[in-house]
Chain A
Amino acid sequence: MKNTLRQVFHSSKFLTGFLIFAAILLTMWIYPLFNPGNPLEMIGVGTFAQPGTYFSLYDAATTRTETLRLPDADEKRITNLVSDADRAAMIEWFGLMEIDVSEVDATDIDALLDLWLEHYDPSVKIKGMTQARRNFFKRLDKNLRQIRAADTLLVMHQEEEELVEKARITKTDYVNVSDVANVKRLPLGTDNFGRDVLKELVSATGTSIVIGLIAGTVATLIGLTLGLLAGYVGGLADDIIMFITNIFTVIPGFVLLILISYSIGQDQRGASVVAIVIGLTSWTWTARSVRSQVISLRNRDHVNLSKLSGHSLFRIILTDILPYIASYVVMAFILQVSSGILAEAQLSLLGLGPKTTVTPTLGLMMNWAMLYSAHTNGSWWAYFPVILTITLISFSLNLMNTGLDQVFNPTLRD
């Protein structure tokens, strides 16, 4: 046993898979310690807030400031405030006014702004320009002038119809983020309901892995029992079991899954029920391979010896057969776990996943992101981490499986 384990961990494939999976498990366990609370709490009011660090502007306005004179601060500020569309509009206006912009670099926003302030005249009427377009340029001019003009911002608060100055913010005022009372880091932004995606993802990964484990256990237990019975007992039992197994191999488990899940109904469909149903529809592979392994073991000498000694069926199976197929069963179990996680995700995408208000799962997160078209509005953080997590879990499990396969089937070794 010890030797086998050493051999298994010697396989680089198994080790890589194991490390990835362990890292995922560890994150699931450690992250909630730092960021406790309900993963489904809706902290954002809008949908799909970008990933990043958010700090309260209200708190920041009254936090002690330091004066920093950074040489490129103005330039950065202007670049940030003038959008690409504004820039294009400025150049368009210069073109219409036949002003030579060849000397000015379009990326040098400072120079462009100078040119604009020098030349723009709202009273000039350009032929063929609609009133709406002219108003657009007027608004643009107003915005651009503000960028240059405003030196100090005043923060006021109202006291009995009177405005009282609360803070004065100049361009060189800086606040240390750690001094601000309310800072929220959202490394993966928020989702369509304004929930912290990372927190949700960690919790969903946990649920999905549990679903995979339950599904894998159910499938392996059924497959193992049927395979052992069919292979060892043989005869009529074998015929009946193989008949059923053959039928369920051809009828796609996915279809059965849909039928059963739909029939159960939304209310009864908790995460564990979905997991059990997945397990109930995916045991055929294990049953088939266990049976063929057992048949090749059935007439080995040690089994016959056990039979002659009058050991019970249960004991023979437990001590003389199971140890020989254990590696196989473990490998099958690993594959079942990974396909169980995938099955849950697909089921949820169809709208047949676990009940939606209690726990997030990877499939449900994907389903929500798709329902709110995160993929077409550019909110990659709502679905891409989910896809990556599913892929990584199943990648690591499959790597472990391949590694085990190579240890136990020497012909496959590189």
Chain B
Amino acid sequence: MKGYRKYFGKKILWFIITFIAAVILNFVLPRLMPADPVSAITGKMASGMTDATAVQEIYKRFEEEFGTNKPLITQFFIFVRNLFRGDLGTSFSQYPRKVSDIISSAIGWTVALQLPAILVGWLLGNILGALAAYIRKGFDKVLLPIALFLSNVPAFGMAVTLLVIFAVKLKVAPIAGGYAFDMIPNMSWRFIKSVISHYQLPFWSIVLVSIGGQAIGMRSMSIYELNADYVKYARFLGIKDRKIVGYVFRNAMLPQVTGLALSIGTMIGGALVAEIIFSYPGLGSTMYSAVTAADYPLISATTLIITIMVLIVTFLLDIIYGFIDPRVKAAQFDA
């Protein structure tokens, strides 16, 4: 464990740096843009008003509330201070709910949906890809085109297709929501059953989409490794096929972990859009309703939370990678 200190230290440092960069970007980007959010909001609130002084008053009020009348650097410190207090402002569209309140009720749904779905998709994809590389012949011939096609179906497309087939046509699954609309979240058996039945379609649509890409990646990595010199050498030495295959797939898995770390942001983005199709009560739907209602504080908070989620997952994957990659291990213990 001691030997990993340097590796983890470096990773944590990177995590902190990217976190700071993400917060700065989240603060700066909307303020860099030519369109002034405050005037946009004022325009929305004051639509239909003819009294210029009243509009002026509304503008001032919002300027005060966002603190946009202060210098940029002061604004930034207020922003950071509020962030650490967990205060993300007040939502416009669901006034007077706090943004942090809305986010905390949505984040659980998103994590519970996406984390297992992406993991299951990744695992299934890797198993299928490895099998395709090992068996080749018929299995590979059938699997590869299907995987290639599936990996190109956008997440929302898969979501709509599953929704139409299973919920609208076959009526074996509910159409929308995270639980039956006539229920209040509680721990009763009936509620849990409803949650599970609403969970199926969003879950499988994300799984199906992620299987394809992972299978293709794993397949080509495995083929690459199977043709490597060490495999030929091991065969030559008479090592059992089973044992070689074990090594090969272990080596092929490593880039797949890195690949997952690098693509997790894109995957979550796609899955968030898929959430909208099912009106799943997670961050994706929250973001959608925030965009349609021009709820500025809510949008900026959602994007920040999603960034932080992706950062944490990437960080965890980096840590796991450190444990399973023998090269990292060797480097740490040599030093």
Inter-chain contact A259/B25, CB cutoff 8 Å: yes
Expressed in whole angstroms, the Cα–Cα distance for A376 and B177 within the complex equals 14
A28 CB to nearest B CB, Å? 19
User: How long is the Cα–Cα vector from A346 to B307 in the complex, in angstroms?
Assistant: 17
State the majority secondary structure of interface residues on B: helix
**Are the C-beta atoms of A351 and B154 separated by less than 8 Å?**
no
Residues on A with beta carbons closer than 8 Å to the beta carbon of B270: 342, 346
Partner among A250, A267, A351, A395 whose Cβ is within 8 Å of the Cβ of B310: A250
Docked Cα-Cα span, A267 to B265, in Å, equals: 28
Tell which of B152, B161, B223, B300 touches A259, judged by Cβ atoms closer than 8 Å: B300
- Asked if A346 and B21 sit within 8 Å, CB to CB, the answer is no
Task: Please state if B21 and A247 are interface contacts (CB–CB under 8 Å).
Answer: yes
Query: Which residues of B have CB within 8 Å of A263?
Result: 29-30, 32-33, 35, 37
Contact B22 A264 (CB under 8 A): no
Most chain B CB atoms below 10 A, which of A263, A339, A394: A263
Nearest CB in chain B: distance from A342 CB, A: 6
Binds A, one of B77-85, B112-120, B285-293, B321-329: B285-293
Point out the residues of chain A lying under 8 angstroms from B163, CB to CB. 375
The residue from B30, B216, B268, B299 contacting A252, defined by CB atoms under 8 A apart: B268
Closest Cβ of chain A: how far from B231's Cβ, in Å? 12
A6–B34 CA distance with the chains assembled, in angstroms = 50
> Across the interface, which residues of A come within 8 angstroms of B175, CB to CB?
376
Chain B residue at minimum C-beta to C-beta distance from A387: B157
Pairs A–B under 8 Å by Cβ, sample size 23: A246-B18, A252-B268, A252-B269, A253-B266, A256-B25, A259-B299, A263-B32, A265-B40, A345-B156, A349-B273, A350-B276, A350-B288, A351-B288, A375-B164, A384-B160, A390-B157, A391-B153, A394-B152, A394-B154, A398-B148, A398-B151, A411-B224, A412-B224
Q: Which residues of B contact A (CB under 8 A)?
A: 14, 17-18, 21-22, 25-26, 29-30, 32-35, 37, 40, 148-149, 151-154, 156-157, 160-161, 163-164, 168, 175, 216, 220, 223-224, 227, 262, 265-266, 268-270, 272-273, 276-277, 287-288, 291-292, 299-300, 303, 306-307, 310-311, 314
Add 13 more A-B contacts to A252-B266, A263-B37, A349-B276 (CB < 8 A).
A251-B307, A255-B310, A256-B25, A259-B25, A263-B32, A345-B154, A350-B287, A352-B291, A370-B277, A375-B277, A391-B154, A399-B148, A411-B223
